[in-house]
Structure 1
Amino acid sequence: MLLRVLSNTVWIHLVLFIVPRVFKSCFLSSSNCFLSSYNEIPKYRPVYIHCRTSRSSYKSIKMLEKLGFNNLINIQGSFLQLSYYEYFNDKTTNRKKILTDYNFE
Structure 2
Amino acid sequence: MADLKLSETRDLTRIERIGAHSHIRGLGLDSALEPRAVSEGMVGQTSARKAAGVILQMIKEGRIAGRAVLIAGQPGTGKTAIAMGMAKSLGLETPIRNDLR
Length-normalised TM-score, structure 2: 0.30
Q: Which has the higher strand share?
A: 1
Please say which structure displays the higher CA radius of gyration.
2
